[in-house]
Amino acid sequence: MRLGKNSIINGKLVIAIGSVLIVWVVLLIDILSPGVRYHSLIDILVVALVIPFGIWFIREFKKNLRHREESRGMNRKLKNLDKQKNEFVSMAAHELRAPLTAIKGYISMVTQGDAGDIPEKARRFLADVNTINDRLIRLVNNMLNVSRIEEGRMVFQLETEELSHVVRAVYSQFIPEAERKGLNYALKTSKHIRDRVSVDPDRIHEVIANLISNAIKYTDKGSVMVKLVQPNKATVRFEVKDTGSGISKEEQEKLFQKFYRVETNVGKTTGTGLGLYISRLLVEIFGGKIGLNSELGKGSTFWFEIPLATSAKKKSSAV
């Protein structure tokens, strides 16, 4: 049977009070015993000090125990609240994803002519709606991923995939957005690159989308260049280089932390500060590393490197 918190506090208090009482009684017996009279004056002084000290000690001890129990209770409540918050965020994100995916499907049907011819202007508006919808899907995915990864509930469908396929698909998805901002947007991959990696294609798609979307979002003019290179025989490297705002050295150190947003961007652009954090977690899960080179005012290059797959394997795993 578990002891209640009050009985634990009371037990400890009884021990403390008991110890003080024993000291008092021993000292009193010592004072009152015949034959040791020459000690009495010192003993009376000691008793005079020990009694108030004992009372103070018992009070402090009691206070301390109560504080400790209160902070333990508070801790439990906070953990519980945090769990409830995570569950709510997961549930809300999950509920939002289905309608957003449906919107994407309908936009695609209309632009492909399933509802008949549409004027060019309507097509352009729909392209914008699609871009905004994609942004919302990315946000919702990041929110879902964060709690799943942190709680170890994420199931990865690991496949051997050519990274250039994923990069091309994500690159194309962002062409309308880059064009709307008037950016020079290009993709360079070498034909003979070895790029077969063991990843979950959907998750690595999200990482690349986070990095390209940031490069476009934080670049007002100039270019965004996407590249896939081979730094050595065992690794493939993805890079996205922009001519945007750039990031100071101090900010760079905090950039991959959860919810971190660069001060000067808060208010000017919308965001959650989750994209880079999730990207780092995912790249590390796939055995790679992620980073950036940047100079304030001159732009940034965000990159990640992933080891090449050693053999073709197909499996699912929870991390």
Contacting residues toward ligand ADP, per CB under 6 A: 210, 214-215, 218, 242, 244-245, 247, 255, 260-262, 265, 271-277, 300, 302
> Which residue lies nearest ligand ADP, judged by its C-beta?
271
Nearer to ligand ADP, 139 or 166 (CB): 139
- Taking the CA of residue 119 as centre, how many other CA atoms within 13 Å lie in the half-sphere pointing to its CB? 3
Q: How many residues does the chain have?
A: 319
Residue showing tokens 């730094």: 231
Q: How far is CA 63 from each of CA 9, 66, 69, 103, 123, rounded to the nearest angstrom?
A: 10, 5, 10, 59, 71
Query: Can you tell me the distance from the alpha carbon of 80 to that of 41, in angstroms, rounded to the nearest whole number?
Result: 58
Minimum distance from residue 58 beta carbon to ligand ADP (Å) = 53
Nearer to ligand ADP, 141 or 198 (CB): 141
Minimum distance from residue 262 beta carbon to ligand ADP (Å) = 3
Nearer to ligand ADP, 196 or 258 (CB): 258
Nearer to ligand ADP, 244 or 288 (CB): 244
Query: Can you tell me the distance from the alpha carbon of 86 to that of 144, in angstroms, rounded to the nearest whole number?
Result: 9
Nearer to ligand ADP, 189 or 245 (CB): 245
Nearer to ligand ADP, 54 or 275 (CB): 275
Residue showing tokens 């509920």: 95
Minimum distance from residue 217 beta carbon to ligand ADP (Å) = 6
- DSSP line for 72-109: HHHHHHHHHHHHHHHHHHHHHHHHHHHHHHHHHHHHHH
Biggest alpha carbon–alpha carbon distance for the chain: 118
Nearer to ligand ADP, 90 or 248 (CB): 248
Minimum distance from residue 102 beta carbon to ligand ADP (Å) = 24
Minimum distance from residue 97 beta carbon to ligand ADP (Å) = 17
Helical H segments across the chain, by residue range: 5-32, 40-111, 120-150, 163-173, 175-180, 201-217, 249-254, 275-285
Minimum distance from residue 311 beta carbon to ligand ADP (Å) = 34
Minimum distance from residue 103 beta carbon to ligand ADP (Å) = 21
Strand order in the sheet with 315-318: 196-199, 155-162, 315-318
